[in-house]
Structure formats: structure tokens, C-alpha cells
Structure 1
């Protein structure tokens, strides 16, 4: 069975945060490259993150490529060829963890290439605001090297994630439609509120627009407050026939100026919310920033009993 078939038939558990998991291993993510620095200095830690999420019950893992792009690596002194190789390494690490886990357990899981927005490259919180504007060609020029690298390295799915701008997403989807028509993808937006993506576009409009692209097999939101997830799903459900994707933060609050998180408040958890999310159309369910194996393990136990 393939990824598209599985999420159509029933829910799959996605993994949790890469950054938090690396920090728990003692890795410092406070750089412009964020977690992508680990691909250069600590690849075994990246492998361990993927493997540990599979052990916790995740059926899909997102590569360490959200903020890994050729332009960022070149700013650090790497040439384009080496930069593409670093991005490909992220896929290879996730695939090795997936294959090693399958060899041990017989369970086949999936590798998703995380493609963050141009705003993540700016490293100034723009992915939460969408206050930048490039032409279609400029967006495609920026994303093309990374897309080529992850597709060539053999990902199952392209995860166009934490996207604040509809125009940027459409530029990526136009590229996929023309250059990689057989490569499946999902899109997840960041939100201003449960009915509006970060730049101010209606979530319903954004969902309807991306659902029409042939490569897209699911659509949703991520990196949003945990308490907004149910409302966002209920906004999206009538707007598309595609499976929905949801992976919010743990309930912690992020300050983009200090680049720090406050501790979660309240008793809502991914596991407690999952049944309601499933009823609202969610078929790929996981966690984003500040979620860990401790969140994904109980989530996976719930998800496997849904459907």
C-alpha cells in the first residue's frame, strides 16, 4: 500500500518536532540554519530522531529540510553541489531510519520531505507573518534546488509546510505539475486565526486553490496553537474532498523576537484531541514545535484505533 492509499483509507500518525528532539540530545539549534546545521555536524542525531519517532508509533517522518536550502548553505560558505548533497543527506538519513525500523519490525513507514517557506530562510519569523513578496519565477528559483535534491534522493511525499502565503505555495505546485508530475505532495498552512492563513487570505480560499492541483493528495495546517486545531479543521472540511493534515504545536507559545517558547498551559494534548480531529477529516495527525516522543507515543496509540 502507498501513502496516498493509506491516508485515504484511514489515519496515519506523523512524527513530532525535529528541533526539540535535537535539543534534548544536547544540540544547539540557535543558528540561522536551525536544525539543518545538524546535517553537517551531527547527522547521527538526526537519524536517531527519525528512528525514535518510528519506535513511538509514527508512520511518517519529516526530513530535516524545513530550513535546509541551497541559498542558506551557500551563505555559510558551501558551494551549490555540496549544498545539494547536504539536503540529499537529510533524505538518506530518514530513509535509513525507516528501512532499519522496517527490517526490525516488518512495518513499512513513509518519508516526507519538509519544504519550508522562503520566510524560513529569512530566519526572522516571516513564516508566521508572510510579509514578503517574490514573483512566481523567484519563488521557483529559490525552491527548485531543494525540490530537485529531495526528489532525486527518493522521498515518498513532498510536505510543503508552515506556509504563510498562497502565492508561494502555488508557485511550488506549478513547478511540481510541470517538472515532477508523478511526485505527490501535501500542503499545510500557518495561520493568523482558525479561518485565515498568516498573510490574511481566507483558509477556505487557500484550501480550495491548492486542492485543485494534481500533485496534492492532502491539505491542512501546522505549527498552530493546539487549541486552534479543531476549529481550523472544521473550517477546512467543507472546502475539500482531500484528506486533512494537522500537526499543531504542543500548547507552548512562541516569541519570534526572542526565539523562545513558554511552557504549555492547560491539559489538552495531541492524544486527547485526536478523535475530534479525525471526525473533522484529519487523516495525517502529528505534532510540530515542542512536541516530542512523549507526545507522539500516546497519540499513535489513539490513532491506530481510529477509522
Structure 2
């Protein structure tokens, strides 16, 4: 018996205050926006953007790369230094949060993070790691670090992430369409093996 195909949903993505082109200083990774950025300033920054996205009628709104607890306010991140289980528990207590996950993280630690999230998270877990390279704000370049993974190695983790409890798997910064195709292929292969059992 084949698995029922899940519905296709469209998500509108909203990044952090520091994300990418807005500040372009790497603060989405460092979580340091400076002392002048207050909770009220962050709310004002997001309010208009959220309204535009909500008016477009997406199925979901994805808050991505929110590295600062002040910005998230409900503790749904771990880059601030908070325990990942505390963050997941806070998100799990909100009925409107459909999924919690990890992005902007190298592939290697993802398995352990998913296991930690699943200890307290009873709804979907999403992961879409970066390639493992590090962004250098001063030069605006990505450099390969020891936590990096080639496209092939990246995809070799997919089965472990799924077994740990990740329901939605993709690729973030510095992955490619070929990486995403390979992830889809690995997931289909896992499904085919499961159907033969």
C-alpha cells in the first residue's frame, strides 16, 4: 500500500531583522543587532512585512533564521543560547505554530537537535541546514569550515534526520537545486524501502 501524498502548501517566508540584504552585516548569524534595537522596534519592523505576506493568502508563514530571543520573544530559537528543548517546548505550547525546526546550521549537529526537539515537540519538525560554510561579514564571503559537507555528504544525513523525527527536510544557504533534488531522491528511496517491508 503506497503512502498518501501530503498536500502541497505555499509558505510565505519572513526573515529576521538582520537577515541578508536588510543589514547585510552577518547579524542574522551573530544575533547582535546592537543596543538600539528594542522589542518595539522589532515588532514595528515585522508588522508591515507580515501584513503584506498575510494579504497574499499563503497557507503558512515561515519565520526563518530568527537568531535573537528578543526578536522571537517566545523562545523558539537556540542561537540566543537558550536550550533547544526549552525553545521547542515554548513553541509547542502555541497552537498556531505548525512546525518548529532548525535552519542556518551545518548538517552534522542536526540529528542531535532533532532528537532534542522531539523530546518536547509533538507536531512537525522541519530542518533545512546550510552547507556548513561560515559567512564572513567583513568580506561578505562564505568560507569552508570543518563542519561543512559536500552535496553528497549532506544528503547522506537525510535518513538519520528523518528517523530522528524530521518531517520536512530541505536545504538552506549554499545548498543548490541539485542538493534539494538529491534530498527528494533519498526520501523517495527510503519510502520505497519502507513499502517493501
Aligned to 2:184: 300
Tell me if the contact between 2:15 and 2:65 (Cα under 8 Å) persists in the aligned partners. yes
Q: Aligned in 2, Cα 1:239/1:293: closer, same or farther, shift over 3 Å?
A: same
Q: Aligned in 2, Cα 1:112/1:248: closer, same or farther, shift over 3 Å?
A: same
State how far apart, in whole Å, the 2-side matches of 1:290 and 1:115 are: 18
State how far apart, in whole Å, the 2-side matches of 1:200 and 1:11 are: 37
Residue 73 of structure 2 aligns to a residue whose secondary structure is: helix
Tell me if the contact between 1:162 and 1:222 (Cα under 8 Å) persists in the aligned partners. yes
Tell me if the contact between 1:170 and 1:210 (Cα under 8 Å) persists in the aligned partners. no
Aligned to 1:99: none
Asked whether 1:147 is paired with 2:53, we answer no
Q: Aligned in 2, Cα 1:11/1:232: closer, same or farther, shift over 3 Å?
A: farther
Tell me if the contact between 2:88 and 2:117 (Cα under 8 Å) persists in the aligned partners. yes
**Counterpart pick for 2:9 among 102, 105, 110:** 110
Q: CA deviation at 1:265?
A: 5.0
Q: Give the TM-score normalised by structure 1.
A: 0.53
State how far apart, in whole Å, the 1-side matches of 2:130 and 2:5 are: 19
Q: Aligned in 2, Cα 1:117/1:267: closer, same or farther, shift over 3 Å?
A: closer
User: What are the superposed Cα offsets for residues 119-177 of structure 1, whole Å, 9 maximum, x if unpaired?
Assistant: 22322111112223644433221101111101111211111011112332237x9xxxx
Residue 227 of structure 1 aligns to a residue whose secondary structure is: coil
User: What is the number of equivalent residue pairs in this alignment?
Assistant: 182
Unpaired runs of 5+ residues, structure 2, are none
Unpaired runs of 5+ residues, structure 1, are 1-8, 13-107, 174-186, 190-196
Q: Aligned in 2, Cα 1:303/1:265: closer, same or farther, shift over 3 Å?
A: closer
Q: CA deviation at 1:210?
A: 1.7
